[in-house]
Structure 1
Amino acid sequence: MRMLSTRGIAPAASISDAIAAGLAPDGGLYMPASLPSFTPADFDGADTLAQVAQRLLRPFFAGDALEGELAAICATAFAVEPPLRVFGEANDYILELFHGATAAFKDYGASFLAAALAALPRGDRPLTILVATSGDTGAAVGAAFHHKPGVRVAILYPDGRVSPRQAHQLGCFGDNVRAFRVDGSFDDCQKLVKTLLSDAAFKQDVPLGSANSISLGRLLPQMAYYAHAALGHWRAGGNPLNFVVPTGNLGNALACFLARSMGLPIGRLVLANNANDVLARFFEGGDYAPQASRTTLANAMDVGAPSNFERLQWLEPDAARLRAELSAESVSDDEIRATIVDAFQRHGEIVCPHTACAVRVLQRLRARGAVGDWAVVATAHPAKFPEVVEPLIGREVPLPAALAAMLARPSHAQPLAGDARALGDLLRVP
């Protein structure tokens, strides 16, 4: 299948080339030229997450260099089954996506991308993976690519705007993974990545790829856990599953939107923003107006210019029709705190600040009369945010074993001004 740039200037690419490049040469984001169509029956016999992922992704890789590797890539990336379980009230569920190597949903897409790139032929020079992170992406990418031969990783994160445990994870790898704490916001980090990825002359000197959600190799695999959860729920009771997805850069929610567009039994899709309400304002009828990001308790969603909105507009240029397909609501820090307390006191559930945004939005939907089966998406383990969560619930949050092991390592991040030339100079050094 051909992959097209959202900006329509760059030539079509194979999915292998699109994954390797990250960003299209015209600065656009790659998207499939068309979306396959499925019915639930098309997944009969596919029960595990890896099996669903392989069947879902197969049309995109048909005839590609990676077609023969897809089964093995999926087996590696989707070995951990995310539980979908009842959450508090009847017909309310939670999809826990934080059981991977770094306790965040991004482990799935990062693992798929790393396995895909490892299966592609490369030249003698190492490929440098650039990744901007607002908290969780960088650690997932670092873990997925750590010690991978022929690959270097540069993680850029906003200094002082991620949780201490997130910052420790980002700098704990060493070897072929370097962390840079940038003097600025996540949007500044993202701008640095896009600037270098769009610089053809620099890429001649330093071969580059991306592991942000601008990478098609991260976006498409994230459809799999929505498909798997929705199919399991459909098989159990014949009902579509509605989702509330906490989102910042829009990649995770876009993956759910794509899965629904391809015929998976997914009902309504509602986005949960923190105080960075660019998407909420758009879906309420305002203009799409990127703004400087605001610092919130749900820091991984502190994004003022969500990259994947460009993909969403490419899929549906008509704003009215797009608003009919999706909705979004924003949640304040005070509401995040209150929701964490309420979930613990009423149901004994401990949720991270990002998941709390989704829980609060679902509470609003139910109060307004929403019916049906709804799942909130838990994107990170609450133990990554003890400074926020533990004072509110009055107890320590147990550490998952994988997170405890990462926190036991030494950690280092290099300071960096928000300057693409300075970053380029650092990346030229072997």
Structure 2
Amino acid sequence: MKLYNLKNHQELVDFETAVKLGLGQKQGLFFPVELPVLKPIELSKILNMDFITRSTEILSKFIHHEISKKQLYKHVQEAFSFTHPLKINITKNIDCLELFHGPTLAFKDFGARFMAQMILLMNKKNETVTILTATSGDTGAAVAHAFYGMKNVRVIILYPKGKISSLQEKLFCTLGKNIKTISINGSFDDCQKLVKEAFNDKKLKESIGLNSANSINISRLLAQICYYFEAFSLISEEQRKNLVIAVPCGNFGNLTAGLLSKALGLPIKSFIACTNSNDTVPRFLTSGKWHPNKTISTISNAMDISQPNNWARIEELFNRKKWNLKELRFGSVSDDATKKALKELFALGYTSEPHAAIAYQLLKDQLKEGEFGLFLGTAHPAKFKNTVEKILNNQITLPNELNNRVNLPLLSYNINPDFQKLKQFLITK
């Protein structure tokens, strides 16, 4: 698999190098040189496979011979060794695709665990690897648990202090061992900026074997393509004809993966890019002007991102495929409207959480006659227990994954968004 740097097309790397580097020169994202397309007969065959076999086939279309199918299957099986996506009926023409049945109760488990398997496979010399990542809520837990206890791998996770739910924090800030967490006095965008600055420091990068597990890492992105195919396999032939998928968007990696599945040949009619009040992309798609506002805190905190990294990949994909950006549906939802959507879903017999509720609301608003809609359930409602219980006036039972950690002490450090302080931490801790 060959990939090029979006900021320097002359920088070409293979899959292994892209996974190890995370980012290219000038903090550029890597993007596939070839965009494989499945023939209709291949697509039909692949949709009839089980999830692990199908996922191996999909990933091999990108990775090619760098990893044998036999070896890839083994690592995919290990990465996705939890309950696969579940389709839940909501209304006559709307279903939810639940992606939160992994060890950290969020869709991020798919990408993080696959990346961990790839790092394990590629670290043949047992060199020390430092994984530095920023999280707006769910990435941190998925990455921490995916790499927890892994030999020669040190994980440092930055998150905005006071801007993620207490239960999200408990999931990854109570582990210890090779997992170190730092609360940053600022926003997620401040955390993401610090990660980029670290990658820009060549000496630092080389000295500690720096890598990133954000959705900027190509391995995480490719893994997420797999559950879009699973979603398609779970619906009827009639529903497949006019399928619209609503995706809660933060850093836009999830939507990028969905669009890559469409590029691969999955006949999805349309996607809806769903944001909260941090609406840089909806405003851009309306005006054509990129003007990120200051990030504001909302009840859908994992989407509190004003400068989404993966948008560059989406623009590149649209250019490469000669798709029209005007055909991408989009919208933003306020906290008040999110609360109403949560109550509406609850009245329909489904307990959700703020991120999925945003996707449901925009899907319901934009679904046309004859279309069938799926919205992505990206996290378990228990991760936002206090918020959801207050809105719905209904108790949520904590699953074991959270109940086992709720009373453990937080092990986080705290610093201001100062790169020199982060650099000192990376070198000394």
Instruction: Report the TM-score, using the length of structure 2 for normalisation.
Output: 0.94
| CA distance in structure 2 between the aligned counterparts of 1:10 and 1:150, rounded to whole angstroms | 32
Q: Partner of 2:403 in structure 1?
A: 404
| CA distance in structure 2 between the aligned counterparts of 1:117 and 1:53, rounded to whole angstroms | 18
Is 1:241 paired with 2:250?
no
Change (3 A) 1:67 1:14: farther
Q: Is the 8 A contact 1:272 1:328 kept in 2?
A: yes
> C-alpha displacement at 1:67, in angstroms?
5.5
Question: What does 1:292-371 correspond to in 2, within 5 Å?
Answer: 292-317=294-319, 321-345=323-347, 347-366=348-367, 369-371=368-370
SS of 2:36's equivalent in the other structure is coil
| CA distance in structure 2 between the aligned counterparts of 1:219 and 1:250, rounded to whole angstroms | 10
For residue 26 of structure 2, what is the amino acid of its counterpart?
D
Q: Is the 8 A contact 2:263 2:321 kept in 1?
A: no
> C-alpha displacement at 1:285, in angstroms?
3.4
Is 1:29 paired with 2:44?
no
| CA distance in structure 2 between the aligned counterparts of 1:219 and 1:320, rounded to whole angstroms | 21
Q: Is the 8 A contact 1:297 1:388 kept in 2?
A: yes
Change (3 A) 1:102 1:349: same
Q: Is the 8 A contact 1:187 1:304 kept in 2?
A: yes
**Structure 1 vs Structure 2: percent identity of aligned residues?**
34
Change (3 A) 1:40 1:395: farther
Q: Partner of 2:104 in structure 1?
A: 102
Change (3 A) 1:256 1:155: same
What 5-or-longer segments of structure 2 have no aligned partner?
Answer: none
| CA distance in structure 1 between the aligned counterparts of 2:376 and 2:84, rounded to whole angstroms | 14
> C-alpha displacement at 1:288, in angstroms?
2.0
Q: Is the 8 A contact 2:239 2:371 kept in 1?
A: no
For residue 15 of structure 1, what is the amino acid of its counterpart?
F
| CA distance in structure 2 between the aligned counterparts of 1:139 and 1:237, rounded to whole angstroms | 34
Report how many residues are paired.
Answer: 426
Instruction: Report the TM-score, using the length of structure 1 for normalisation.
Output: 0.94
| CA distance in structure 2 between the aligned counterparts of 1:376 and 1:429, rounded to whole angstroms | 44
Q: Partner of 1:82 in structure 2?
A: 85
| CA distance in structure 2 between the aligned counterparts of 1:230 and 1:341, rounded to whole angstroms | 28
| CA distance in structure 1 between the aligned counterparts of 2:170 and 2:317, rounded to whole angstroms | 38
Q: Partner of 1:166 in structure 2?
A: 168
Deviations 1:271-309 (A, max 9, x none): 110000111112223312222211111000000000001
Q: Is the 8 A contact 2:239 2:372 kept in 1?
A: no
SS of 2:12's equivalent in the other structure is coil
Is 1:429 paired with 2:428?
yes
For residue 419 of structure 2, what is the amino acid of its counterpart?
A
| CA distance in structure 1 between the aligned counterparts of 2:370 and 2:179, rounded to whole angstroms | 46
For residue 412 of structure 1, what is the amino acid of its counterpart?
L
Match of 1:207 among 206, 209, 222: 209
Question: What does 1:135-154 correspond to in 2, within 5 Å?
Answer: 135-154=137-156
Q: Partner of 1:58 in structure 2?
A: 60
Q: Is the 8 A contact 1:292 1:304 kept in 2?
A: yes
Change (3 A) 1:238 1:162: closer
> C-alpha displacement at 1:211, in angstroms?
0.3
SS of 1:383's equivalent in the other structure is helix
SS of 2:245's equivalent in the other structure is strand
| CA distance in structure 2 between the aligned counterparts of 1:218 and 1:237, rounded to whole angstroms | 28
| CA distance in structure 2 between the aligned counterparts of 1:317 and 1:60, rounded to whole angstroms | 19
Change (3 A) 1:321 1:55: closer
What 5-or-longer segments of structure 1 have no aligned partner?
Answer: none
SS of 2:409's equivalent in the other structure is coil
Is 1:226 paired with 2:234?
no
Q: Is the 8 A contact 1:22 1:216 kept in 2?
A: yes
Q: Is the 8 A contact 1:284 1:328 kept in 2?
A: no
Q: Partner of 1:392 in structure 2?
A: 391
Change (3 A) 1:82 1:417: same
Q: Partner of 1:18 in structure 2?
A: 18
> C-alpha displacement at 1:403, in angstroms?
2.4
Change (3 A) 1:41 1:14: same
Match of 1:288 among 281, 290, 308: 290
| CA distance in structure 1 between the aligned counterparts of 2:383 and 2:125, rounded to whole angstroms | 38
Q: Is the 8 A contact 2:341 2:357 kept in 1?
A: yes
| CA distance in structure 1 between the aligned counterparts of 2:296 and 2:240, rounded to whole angstroms | 41
Q: Is the 8 A contact 1:182 1:416 kept in 2?
A: yes
> C-alpha displacement at 1:48, in angstroms?
2.2
> C-alpha displacement at 1:357, in angstroms?
0.3
Q: Is the 8 A contact 1:278 1:289 kept in 2?
A: yes
| CA distance in structure 2 between the aligned counterparts of 1:306 and 1:241, rounded to whole angstroms | 25
